[in-house]
Amino acid sequence: MKRYALFLGCTVPVRAQHYELSARNVAKELNIEFVEMDDASCCGFPIKAVDAETSLLIAARNISIASTMNLNIVTLCNSCTAMLSDAQKQLKHNEFYKKFKELGFSYPHDVVVKHFVRVLYEEIGLDVLKKAVKKPLNMLKVISHYGCHYMRPSQLHEFDNPEVPHTLDELVTVTGAQSVEYVDKKMCCGGSVLGIDEALAVTMANHKLHTAKNSNVDALISICPFCTVMYEDNQRKAEDKFETQYGIPVLYYPQLLGLSLGLDKNAVGIRFNRVKASALLEKVGVA
């Protein structure tokens, strides 16, 4: 059994419970144990634009919690992943470590920070996942969206290809679903500028929704709650702005994987998806 400290961040536990639920249930199926980080806070990323040093200290405090538990961290949000990974590297620099110690925090064990999807790819592996699939989703065609901070900046993550990523496509393929190839794969969802200029953010999100529609897919697969805010919660706004109809369900990868592992629709929280996925469920044969 593999054990990790689960870092939830701000958005997942209150706005994306279906992501959390499906990730926890998939983990159970794969013999992964999540240990709660009760006193974990925001990762710090939301105020990085205001003060990088403060955000790094907030991130480092979260890492210290896992360090005290002597566990590596699993995250569900791309930006949490990048922020905590950055702080983990900074803790090795004397100057930053000194500031961290001044606040009374400790770092007894080195901690590795990984996105849950990266853990599935690197530490569970495609072969194990393939064997665990009980209900191949051969009838589904989806578009995989990585988001920015899953693999960029590459100096930080040292994982996947920052220009043409492939790990999520491979993980989708394992479920039996077809992950379509498309241009502008690494296009940003626009989430980071939502609070600055909503029209620009929606225009950015629209780009991939448009591609998804043209590819005639059953769903867009996301691995970040903020990307989902753009593609799902703001899908209606993109439809209005660009006078079109999308109706594209946005599933978190653990929801898709969970269905292929034979979990029922409640175990992957499908009813919380804002763009209804009933047509997809019908195809899969999950009533």
What does the binding site for another protein look like in residue numbers (CB under 8 A)? 8, 10-11, 13-15, 17, 20-21, 24, 36, 38-42, 46-54, 56-58, 61, 102-103, 148-149, 152-155, 162-163, 186-188, 190-193, 195-197, 200, 203-204, 207, 269
Question: Smallest gap, in angstroms, from Cβ of residue 203 to another protein?
Answer: 5
Question: Smallest gap, in angstroms, from Cβ of residue 139 to another protein?
Answer: 28
Judged by beta carbon, residue 56 or residue 74, the one nearer another protein is 56
Judged by beta carbon, residue 175 or residue 252, the one nearer another protein is 252
Judged by beta carbon, residue 24 or residue 141, the one nearer another protein is 24
Long-range contacts of the stretch 149-153 (C-beta < 8 A, 24+): 149/78, 149/79, 149/81, 149/82, 149/224, 150/78, 150/81, 150/115, 150/117, 150/118, 150/223, 150/224, 152/82, 152/186, 153/82
Judged by beta carbon, residue 27 or residue 177, the one nearer another protein is 27
Question: Smallest gap, in angstroms, from Cβ of residue 48 to another protein?
Answer: 6
Judged by beta carbon, residue 137 or residue 270, the one nearer another protein is 270
Question: Smallest gap, in angstroms, from Cβ of residue 264 to another protein?
Answer: 14
Judged by beta carbon, residue 51 or residue 282, the one nearer another protein is 51
